[in-house]
Amino acid sequence: MSLIAAENLTVRFGGSPVLDGVDLSVEPGEIVTIVGPNGSGKSTLLRSLLGIQKPSAGKVTRKRGLRLGYVPQKLHVGPDMPMTVRRFLALPHRPGAADAAAALARVGMAGMEGRQLIGLSGGQFQRVLLARALLARPELLVLDEPTQGLDQPGEAAFYKLIEEVRREYGCAILMVSHDLHVVMSASDRVICLNHHVCCAGTPHVVSNAPEYRALFGYGTGGALALYQHDHDHNHGHDHDHGHDHGPDHAHENDHAHPQTHEHSDA
């Protein structure tokens, strides 16, 4: 049974629909990524699935008792709003100290409970948002452009973390992303949205679809094909440059280098 499904989902804010007859489902354990141009309705689709946005037509079905974790696109914390990581993790439900510590450790932020949110780097803040979402022990983790504003190593490290979380928690992941090369290496399924579903399927299929190419161009499509990546292969050389980047950059560049390998599990 699907964890979540949209059927003929339509959302209008006045004029022409922002979402028009969208069908989508997420199955247990899979990573599904939504790509699409600016304003194509990606966030609206996530908000509809989460129940924050009411559809004009169609319906959303969730598995009964579905445990959801949500990492929003942006969260502005101003200097006039002092808040520690510990307090932030307690919104809206206060976790036990051990659970909070474990969630922070899982995202590479062990012992950071007492830090002020305002003092965190972009990458550290994203990790705290992820830790907060993990406290729900989600069966489905929903992320809206989780690496916006991060540099490329930070981005690659964050996606690697998401893959690890998926493995450990066995949760499905539904995300919106603009980081096309990472999307293509880290997703089981890609949905290309432009108010309606233009095309959907494995990264390989989508990157070669004419509908996708019409939106993103041949240049990008070519680059994406290069980025398709076998998760299990050995690169045959060491990507660790011999210095410690700290938690923000605890990457091995696994998904940051062009590879000519085809995706083995696509």
Ligand X SMILES: Nc1ncnc2c1ncn2[C@@H]1O[C@H](COP(=O)(O)OP(=O)(O)OP(=O)(O)O)[C@@H](O)[C@H]1O
Query: Nearer Cβ to ligand X, position 160 or 181?
Result: 181
Query: Nearer Cβ to ligand X, position 44 or 187?
Result: 44
Q: Which tokens in the block code for residue 48? A: 């509809």
∠ Cα 144 149 152 (to 5°): 100
The Cα 246–Cα 154 span in angstroms is 10
Provide, rounded to whole angstroms, the least separation between the CB of residue 117 and ligand X: 23
Provide, rounded to whole angstroms, the least separation between the CB of residue 34 and ligand X: 8
Please give the order of strands across the beta sheet that includes 196-201.
Answer: 68-71, 140-144, 172-176, 31-35, 189-194, 196-201
Query: Nearer Cβ to ligand X, position 145 or 254?
Result: 145
Provide, rounded to whole angstroms, the least separation between the CB of residue 43 and ligand X: 3
Phi-psi category of 16—alpha, beta or left, where left has phi over 0 and alpha has psi -120 to 50?
beta
Provide, rounded to whole angstroms, the least separation between the CB of residue 148 and ligand X: 9
Provide, rounded to whole angstroms, the least separation between the CB of residue 41 and ligand X: 4
Residue ranges with strand state E in 127-247: 140-144, 172-176, 189-194, 196-201
Query: Nearer Cβ to ligand X, position 42 or 229?
Result: 42
Query: Nearer Cβ to ligand X, position 36 or 146?
Result: 36
- Residues in the site for ligand X, rule: CB under 6 A? 13, 18, 36, 38-44
The Cα 244–Cα 81 span in angstroms is 32
